[in-house]
Every structure is written in C-alpha cells, then in structure tokens.
C-alpha cells in the first residue's frame, strides 16, 4: 500500500483576495474549481505547475466572520530558487510575519493569517 500527497486545505473568508495573494506572492495558479448548484461553497485548487500537490481553498457562503486560527501552529512550506528576490518581493508586499535569520528562513502570512514558510532551495 502506498500513499502520496494530494492537497492541503485552507478555509478562506474572502476567496478573491486569497486568490490574488497566492498568485502574486507565490505564483500559484487556479488548476480547477468546484461550485455546487446551490452556491453554498466554492473549492479552488491552486498549483505551482510543477508538482502534483495542490493547495485547496474552500470558501463557505454562509461564513459571516473571519476564521480564528487560535494557537494552531501549522503551516505550508515553499522552496524558492532565488531566496533574496523572494524575500524582497514579500517585504515589498508587507506580508513577512516572522524571520529566523539564523536558520535562513522566513514566513509570510496570507489574508486569513495562515503562515507560509519560505526556504531556500538548497540549505
């Protein structure tokens, strides 16, 4: 028996804002979308065009308040081939929320305050 990663899910409060963030910050593109006839939710799968792993964004129509992520310290991690350029871009976007210079990594946060770790391709 074998298992492979398929996707991770983040529930988002404002789908358009989240899609714009992931496109600008990480270059992710919409790979597919599902919206049921009753329009109660939308699921959008984002991909990097290189791997088969997706980020699934779920928007719920009846959600009235932003999500409270509490103390749940989970995150996604992305490798980059140009760490300095990525850092400069994210600094300009104002989305860097934590840096660990000793480890050579930093984190950005999306519109719902999910954290994404940025690591150099080779460490």
- The CATH class given to the 75-123 domain equals alpha beta
> What whole-number distance in Å separates Cα of residue 65 and Cα of residue 44?
20
- The pair phi, psi for residue 18, each rounded to 5°, is -65, -45
Tens-digit pLDDT profile for residues 9-28? 999 999 999 999 999 999 99
Write down the mean pLDDT value for the chain. Answer: 94
Instruction: Burial-class residue 61 by CB neighbours within 10 Å (0-12, 13-18, 19+).
Output: exposed
| Span 102-120, average pLDDT | 95
Domain ranges of the chain: 1-62, 75-123
Under 8 Å between Cβ of 18 and 112? yes
Question: What phi-psi label fits residue 108: left (phi over 0), alpha (psi between -120 and 50 degrees) or beta?
Answer: beta
Domain made up of 1-62: CATH architecture: Roll (3.10)
């Amino acid at each position: 028996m074998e298992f492979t990663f398929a996707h991770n899910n983040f529930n988002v409060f404002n789908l358009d804002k989240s899609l714009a963030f992931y496109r600008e910050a990480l270059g992710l593109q919409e790979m597919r979308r599902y919206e049921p006839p009753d329009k109660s939710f939308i699921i959008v799968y984002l991909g990097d065009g290189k791997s088969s792993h997706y980020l699934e964004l779920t928007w719920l129509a009846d959600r009235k308040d932003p999500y409270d992520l509490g103390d749940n310290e989970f995150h996604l991690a992305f490798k980059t081939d140009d760490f300095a350029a990525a850092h400069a871009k994210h600094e300009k976007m104002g989305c860097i929320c934590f840096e660990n210079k000793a480890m050579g990594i930093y984190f950005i946060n999306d519109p719902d305050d999910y954290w994404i770790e940025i690591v150099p391709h080779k460490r």
